[in-house]
Amino acid sequence: MSMTDSSHVPRFDTGPLSWVMSEIRDALVRSREALLEASVRGRDSQGTSLQHARAHLHQAHGALQMVDVDGVGTLTQAAEEALQRFRDGTLACDAASAQTVASLYQAVIEYLEELLSGAAPQPARLFPYYRDVQELLGVERIHPSDLLFADLSAPVALPARTAVAAPDYAASRARFEKNLLPFLKSTDAQARRAPAGALAEAVAEVEGAQQEAAARTFWLAMRGFAQLAASGQLAGDLYVKQLFGLINLQIRRLSQGQGSLPEPMLRDALFFVAAAPEPLDIALPLRRAYRLDGLVPHDYDTRRYGRIDAQALKEAREALAQAQGIWDKVATGIDP
């Protein structure tokens, strides 16, 4: 079964969301209209429209708090910060910036409507819109794992070990650093696989030397990530390169007698494990414990929402509702 096959994922309970969806949609549409109106005004006359935009967004927040939808609150929180920055003047509310936030609104609406239609929750689909607003805000670290909502406190059923290899972290670090630069500099996907394989072997050495469950889990995730790169399933993009750089620092710390286990690194590695088109057996304990199957689509970086004009869609819904009302009258025998 593919990692991105969501047929086996527990279905989302649409009941609570269906009760408040109309309120959420209307509030975000009104916030969008007020925001776009502000963007065409002069700086001194934007205040009232921005206040209205923020009030409507706050209304949507209130409705969202009544339902349990992972990820959506993360996006609307980013939008709220952008509106605050627009109001206090630390961020220019121009047409481009306003449209960035408006696109996030539209993505949230369409994502929630997908859930109501029976789609499995995959908040990572919202990443392109989340990233745009975070970049607008000047956030230093932006990663798709910000939209990975897995319970990392769940115990992982690791296989028993009869013997643990004596650690030689200095040798593992030397091997890792020798192959890291060729991986980072390569622009050819096929050429990256050889150094990625060597990186994975170095990480496997470190993973094999761990004794505590938490450390074994952490380094198993790093090994799963590295082997995905070696198998050619990961592009050599910024996020992949960043995580390999962080792994290098962790091996260096181990060679110096420091053994921290940063949770953000674990979450980053698990994100790639979850997004893999072809899951690796080595990561099976992680996928089971953290329920990663179907959680992240492999095309999470693809823009999925906002392809249909929001106003046209609203008018189409209103026309459909009117037609349904007329048909109900006809069906009940009332002369139309």
Checking if the pLDDT of 234 tops 50, the result is: yes
**Contact present, 223 and 166 (Cβ < 8 Å):** no
Q: How confident is the model at residue 335 (pLDDT cuts 50, 70, 90)?
A: low
Q: Is the pLDDT of residue 287 over 90?
A: yes
Q: What percent of the chain is predicted at pLDDT more than 70?
A: 92
Which pLDDT score, from 0 to 100, does residue 12 have?
77
Q: Each residue of 39-62: pLDDT tens digit?
A: 998 888 898 999 999 999 999 988
| Residue 319 reports pLDDT greater than 90 | no
Task: Judge whether 82 and 91 are in contact, CB under 8 Å.
Answer: yes
Q: State the CB neighbour count (10 A cutoff) for residue 164.
A: 11
Longest dimension (CA), the chain: 87
Q: Average of pLDDT values for 94-102? A: 96
> Quick one: what percent of the chain has pLDDT higher than 90?
72
Mean pLDDT, residues 264-288: 94
On the question of pLDDT at 180 being above 80, the answer is yes
Q: 274: closest CA among 297, 240, 300?
A: 297
Which whole-number Å values give the CA distances from 312 to 103, 306, 309, 317, in the listed order?
15, 12, 5, 9
Q: Tokens 């929750």 correspond to what residue?
A: 121
Taking residues 269-295, report their average pLDDT. 94
In tens, the pLDDT along 111-136 reads 999 999 999 999 999 999 999 999 99
Kindly give the interhelix angle for 238-255 and 169-185, rounded to the nearest 10 degrees: 160
8 A C-beta contact, residue 54 and residue 80 = yes
The pLDDT value given to residue 313? 66
Of the CA atoms within 13 Å of residue 189, those in its CB half-sphere come to 7
How many angstroms from the chain centroid is the CA of residue 258?
30
Q: Kindly state the helix (H) or strand (E) to which residue 213 belongs, with its residue range.
A: helix 213-230
Return the minimum-mean-pLDDT range out of 66-80, 176-190, 321-335. Answer: 321-335
Q: What is the pTM of this model?
A: 0.85
CA atoms within 13 A on the CB side of 323: 6
* CA–CA gap between residue 311 and residue 109 (Å, rounded): 13
- Residue with the larger pLDDT of the pair 135 and 330: 135
